[in-house]
Structure 1
Amino acid sequence: MSKNASSNLVEIRDLTVAFDGVPVLHGIDLSVAPGEAVGLVGESGCGKSVTWLAALGLLPSKAAVTGSVRLGPVELAGAPRQTLEDVRGAKIAMIFQDPSSALNPVIRAGRQIVEALRLHRGLTGRAARAEAVRLMDLVGIPDARRRFDLYPHEFSGGQCQRLMIAMALAGEPELLVADEPTTALDATIQAQILDLLATLREETGMAVVFISHDLGAVSQVCERICVMYAGRIVEEGPVGELFEAPRHPYTRGLFDAIPTLTGPRERLVPIPGTVPDPRTLPRGCAFAPRCSRGIALCHLDRPPLRGRDGVRQLACHDPVPDTAGRAAWALAPAAAVAGARP
Structure 2
Amino acid sequence: MGNLVEIRDLSVAFDGVPVLHGVNLQVAPGEALGLVGESGCGKSVTWLAALGLLPSKATVTGSVTLGQAELVDAPRPSLENIRGGRIAMIFQDPSSALNPVIRVGRQMMEALKLHRDLRGDAARKEALRLMDLVGIPDAKNRFNLYPHEFSGGQCQRIMIAMALAGEPDLLIADEPTTALDATIQAQILDLLARLRAEMQMATVFISHDLGAVAQVCERVCVMYAGRIVEQGPVEQLFSCPRHPYTRGLFDAIPRLDGPRAPLTPIPGTVPDPRNLPAGCAFAPRCSHARDFCHNDRPDLLPQQDGRALACAYPLPEARQHKAAPEQVTS
Asked if Structure 1 and Structure 2 have the same fold, meaning a TM-score greater than 0.5 normalized by the shorter chain, the answer is yes
- Say whether 1:124 aligns with 2:119: yes
- Secondary structure of 2:297's counterpart equals coil
The alpha carbon displacement at 1:326 in A equals 2.8
Alignment map for 1:53-72 (pairs within 5 Å): 53-72=48-67
Partner AA of 1:87 in structure 2: I
The alpha carbon displacement at 1:331 in A equals 3.5
Displaced runs of 4+ in structure 1, greater than 2 A?
308-311, 323-331
Q: Note the alpha carbon deviations across 1:184-207, whole angstroms, 9 max, x for none.
A: 211110000000000000000000
Alignment map for 1:95-106 (pairs within 5 Å): 95-106=90-101
Cα contact 1:243–1:331 (8 A) shared by 2? no
CA distance in 1, matches of 2:322, 2:11: 33
* Structure 2: gaps of 5 or more residues: none
- Secondary structure of 2:328's counterpart equals helix
* Structure 1: gaps of 5 or more residues: 1-5, 338-342
Residue of structure 2 aligned with 1:145, choices 136, 140, 148: 140
- Say whether 1:134 aligns with 2:129: yes
The alpha carbon displacement at 1:333 in A equals 3.4
- Say whether 1:22 aligns with 2:17: yes
Cα contact 2:215–2:326 (8 A) shared by 1? no
CA distance in 1, matches of 2:79, 2:39: 27
CA distance in 1, matches of 2:324, 2:235: 12
Partner AA of 1:26 in structure 2: H
- Say whether 1:216 aligns with 2:215: no
Partner AA of 1:245 in structure 2: C
**2:4 — aligned with what?**
9
Aligned residues: CA RMSD: 1.3
- With normalisation by structure 2, the TM-score equals 0.98
CA distance in 2, matches of 1:322, 1:19: 38
CA distance in 2, matches of 1:153, 1:159: 10
CA distance in 1, matches of 2:100, 2:91: 16
Q: How many residues align?
A: 330
Cα contact 1:240–1:327 (8 A) shared by 2? no
CA distance in 2, matches of 1:143, 1:36: 32
Q: Percent identity?
A: 75
**1:332 — aligned with what?**
327
- With normalisation by structure 1, the TM-score equals 0.94
**1:287 — aligned with what?**
282
- Secondary structure of 1:158's counterpart equals helix
Residue of structure 2 aligned with 1:191, choices 177, 186, 192: 186
- Say whether 1:323 aligns with 2:318: yes
- Say whether 1:299 aligns with 2:312: no
Partner AA of 2:181 in structure 1: D
- Say whether 1:236 aligns with 2:236: no
CA distance in 1, matches of 2:226, 2:13: 10
CA distance in 1, matches of 2:168, 2:305: 24
CA distance in 1, matches of 2:165, 2:127: 8
The alpha carbon displacement at 1:327 in A equals 6.2
Partner AA of 1:46 in structure 2: C
**1:74 — aligned with what?**
69
**1:48 — aligned with what?**
43
**1:3 — aligned with what?**
none
CA distance in 1, matches of 2:319, 2:129: 46
